[in-house]
């Protein structure tokens, strides 16, 4: 500890010193840095993280679970091996003395980027010219969104949801108001609405690049859920024909998909659920069963390895390799860089949400967490 405190005057180590290192060169240095930091730092790894980084995780899971777990520790540094919105959520949900760090600031989320505050604000104003938004519409944002959109929901009586609890959140939102504006992922919103019995024609898509979202006044008045035109670039790769081909070859097999997949993929699946639900289902499945899995490749490969001793097979749904490209930006080199800087007393790539914005975002998150 004295050695760490003495290093507080050190200058930041530039990433250039790490970029040329091989993964194998990084591994022992990562372990050494973790040992020196001890309980001052905790490494969080999302389910989709590459194996070379995932092996160093202190905690694993989906984005919300990881932020909640981190908040229960006393670690000063929360090193989030995920993407930008996840590190923002960690900053919002952890204690004041805890500092969220994203190893590579380029690790974003294409889905989260499909909705921004300017476009959502314009949507809200345009809807307000047709209906009383403040009294008739509840904004619901998927956890896969920027902090300022969570704050928007907090300010306007809205709420955050995850792929695990979207149905509970939407039911609670309908108890409050008659309509929902759901962003940024149309597929999660559509599938959740469908499971609640809402007809597809009452869940029109709002295109933020078109005036009035490309919808007519009657469509807006009749809508139960207005779905933002957004999607996950990974989950959109899965197609119904992938399922059909699997069922021809393996008629006794099972199909499980993430609700970010297209509607027809979900409808043809035997099970639909979050990453945690997918992992739990495969782990608890009967020995000798075969599964076609519609979610990110790193998770599928990890689960396939884990369950093979029971004679179970987990097969990636798409014929082409399809990873979360932005998540892949977190590599051993960037992880080593942030850890060795922390050892030297330097904090690099800290993610900080402004106080007022964080308070509003926390309000929307707390509404979700308060649900039974």
Position 371 in a domain: no
104 plus 9 within the same structural domain: yes
37 plus 103 within the same structural domain: yes
Is residue 99's pLDDT more than 70?
yes
3-state secondary structure of 102: coil
Which tokens belong to 357? 């914005």
76 plus 148 within the same structural domain: no
97 plus 129 within the same structural domain: no
Position 279 in a domain: yes
CA 211, CA 46: separation in Å to the nearest integer?
A: 37
Domain boundary among 232, 249, 284: 232
Domain boundary among 208, 232, 256: 232
121 plus 140 within the same structural domain: yes
Treating both helix axes as pointing N-terminal to C-terminal, what angle do 147-155 and 84-93 enclose, rounded to 10 degrees?
Answer: 50
Question: Which stretches does DSSP call E strand in 168-289?
Answer: 179-183, 205-206, 225-228, 254-257, 271-272
Pairing status of strand 205-206 against strand 159-161: unpaired
Q: Which residue has the higher pLDDT, 148 or 2?
A: 148
**DSSP summary character for residue 182:** E
Position 55 in a domain: yes
At 209, give phi and psi (nearest 5°).
-90, 0
On the 0-12 / 13-18 / 19+ scale of CB atoms within 10 A, 117 is middle
CB atoms within 10 A of CB 16: 8
pLDDT band at 292 (very low <50, low <70, confident <90, very high): very high
281 plus 342 within the same structural domain: no
At 60, give phi and psi (nearest 5°).
-130, 160
Domain boundary among 192, 213, 232: 232
Which CATH number goes with the domain that contains 303? 3.40.50.10800
Position 345 in a domain: yes
196 plus 160 within the same structural domain: yes
**DSSP summary character for residue 261:** S
Check: CB of residue 179 under 8 Å from CB of residue 225: yes
Please choose, from the candidates 18, 220, 256, the residue with its C-alpha nearest in 3D space to the C-alpha of residue 124: 220
Give the pLDDT of residue 262: 97
CA 250, CA 155: separation in Å to the nearest integer?
A: 50
pLDDT band at 65 (very low <50, low <70, confident <90, very high): confident
130 plus 203 within the same structural domain: yes
CA 265, CA 235: separation in Å to the nearest integer?
A: 10
pLDDT band at 10 (very low <50, low <70, confident <90, very high): low
281 plus 338 within the same structural domain: no
CA 90 to chain centre: 12
Domain that holds residue 275: 235-316
Which CATH number goes with the domain that contains 180? 3.40.50
Position 372 in a domain: no
126-141 burial code (b ≥16 CB/10 A, e <16): bbeeebebeeebbbbb
**DSSP summary character for residue 329:** G
Check: CB of residue 246 under 8 Å from CB of residue 35: no
Share of the chain above pLDDT 70, in %: 95
CA 229, CA 267: separation in Å to the nearest integer?
A: 20
pLDDT band at 11 (very low <50, low <70, confident <90, very high): confident
pLDDT band at 7 (very low <50, low <70, confident <90, very high): very low
36 plus 97 within the same structural domain: yes
214 plus 277 within the same structural domain: no
Share of the chain above pLDDT 90, in %: 84
Give the pLDDT of residue 228: 98
Position 344 in a domain: yes
The mean per-residue pLDDT over the stretch 24-47 comes to 96
pLDDT band at 312 (very low <50, low <70, confident <90, very high): very high
208 plus 249 within the same structural domain: no
**DSSP summary character for residue 251:** T
Determine which helix (DSSP H) or strand (DSSP E) holds 280, and give its type and residue range.
helix 275-284
Kindly report the average pLDDT of the chain as a whole number.
93
Q: In what order do the strands lie in the sheet with 271-272?
A: 271-272, 254-257, 290-294, 313-316
Check: CB of residue 105 under 8 Å from CB of residue 82: no
pTM of the model: 0.91
Number of domains in the chain: 3
Position 363 in a domain: no
Position 362 in a domain: no
């Amino acid at each position: 500890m004295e050695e760490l405190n003495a290093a507080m005057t050190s200058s930041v180590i530039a990433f250039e010193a790490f970029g040329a290192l091989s993964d194998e060169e990084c591994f022992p240095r990562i372990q050494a840095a973790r040992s020196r930091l001890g309980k001052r730092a905790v490494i969080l790894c999302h389910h989709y993280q590459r194996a070379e980084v995932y092996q160093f995780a202190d905690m694993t899971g989906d984005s919300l679970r990881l932020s909640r777990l981190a908040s229960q520790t006393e670690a000063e540094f929360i090193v989030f091996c995920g993407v930008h919105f996840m590190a923002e959520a960690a900053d919002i949900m952890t204690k004041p003395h805890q500092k969220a760090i994203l190893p590579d600031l380029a690790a974003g989320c294409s889905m989260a980027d499909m909705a921004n505050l300017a476009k959502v604000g314009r949507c809200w104003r345009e809807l307000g010219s047709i209906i009383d938004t403040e009294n008739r519409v509840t904004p619901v944002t998927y956890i896969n969104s920027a902090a300022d959109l969570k704050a928007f929901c907090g300010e306007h009586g809205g709420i955050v949801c995850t792929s695990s609890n979207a149905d509970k959140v939407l039911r609670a939102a309908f108890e409050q108001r008659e309509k929902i504006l759901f962003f940024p992922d149309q597929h999660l919103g559509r599938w959740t609405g469908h499971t609640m019995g809402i007809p597809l024609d009452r869940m029109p898509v709002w295109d933020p690049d078109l005036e009035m979202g490309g919808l007519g006044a009657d469509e807006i008045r009749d809508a139960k859920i207005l779905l933002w035109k957004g999607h996950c670039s990974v989950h959109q790769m899965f197609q119904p024909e992938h399922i059909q081909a699997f069922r021809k070859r393996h008629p006794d097999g099972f199909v499980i998909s993430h609700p970010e997949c297209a509607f027809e993929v979900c409808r043809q699946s035997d099970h639909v659920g979050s990453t945690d639900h997918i992992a739990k289902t495969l782990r608890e499945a009967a020995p000798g069963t075969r599964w076609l899995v519609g979610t990110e490749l790193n998770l599928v490969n990890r689960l396939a390895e884990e369950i093979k001793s029971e004679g179970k097979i987990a097969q990636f749904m798409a014929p082409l390799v399809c990873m979360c490209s932005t998540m892949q930006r977190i590599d051993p080199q960037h992880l080593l860089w942030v850890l060795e800087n922390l050892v030297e007393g330097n904090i690099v790539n800290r993610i900080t949400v402004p106080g007022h914005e964080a308070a509003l975002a926390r309000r929307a998150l707390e509404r979700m967490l308060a649900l039974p």
